[in-house]
């Protein structure tokens, strides 16, 4: 599902979907600038590291922002993040419940896609 709001296009993903790059790519191919990932990422060995790495990987692979929202501990690992198209974590809400608003830049998405023209150069 991709929808438009305020001039930006958003793609929706749920929890375990984050482990599948094909879904993030199909949303990006459909025009998404931002991937919204809602999750209850269950705690376990290396699960926090995987959560953070996968959010960053999907951002880098698709030159999009990724807003990964995860339920706070003890049920989940927490660490809701906003990752920019270069894979840089712009915000991390940590382990406590919280809310934060973010601005995303369509110009940043366009600039990164020009720097790394993966959509034009990829091999199918």
Encode pLDDT of 3-56 as tens digits: 999 999 999 999 999 999 999 999 999 999 999 999 999 999 999 999 999 999
- Structural domain of residue 102, as residue ranges? 2-121
CB under 8 A, 24+ apart: contacts of 82-87: 83/55, 83/56, 83/59, 84/59, 84/108, 85/59, 85/60, 85/109, 85/112, 85/113, 86/59, 86/60, 86/112, 87/56, 87/57, 87/59, 87/60
- pLDDT tens digit sequence for 61-83: 999 999 999 999 999 999 999 99
pLDDT at 90: 97
pLDDT at 118: 85
- Count up the domains in the chain and report the number: 1
Q: Report the side by side order of strands in the sheet with 2-5.
A: 2-5, 8-14, 34-39, 65-70, 81-83, 89-92
CATH of the domain at 93: 3.60.110.10
pLDDT at 119: 84
pLDDT at 7: 95
How far CA 42 is from CA of 6, 35, 73, 83, 91, in Å, comes to 33, 20, 9, 20, 21
């Amino acid at each position: 599902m991709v929808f438009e709001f305020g001039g930006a296009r958003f793609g929706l993903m749920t929890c375990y979907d984050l482990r599948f790059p094909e879904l993030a790519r199909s949303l990006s191919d459909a025009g998404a600038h931002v991937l919204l990932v809602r999750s209850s990422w269950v705690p376990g060995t290396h699960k926090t590291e995987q959560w953070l790495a996968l959010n960053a990987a999907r951002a880098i692979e698709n030159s999009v922002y990724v807003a990964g929202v995860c339920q706070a501990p003890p049920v989940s690992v927490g660490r809701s993040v906003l990752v920019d198209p270069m894979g840089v974590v712009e915000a991390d809400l940590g382990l406590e419940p919280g809310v934060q608003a973010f601005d995303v830049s369509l110009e940043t998405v366009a600039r990164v896609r020009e720097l790394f023209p993966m959509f034009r150069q990829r091999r199918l």
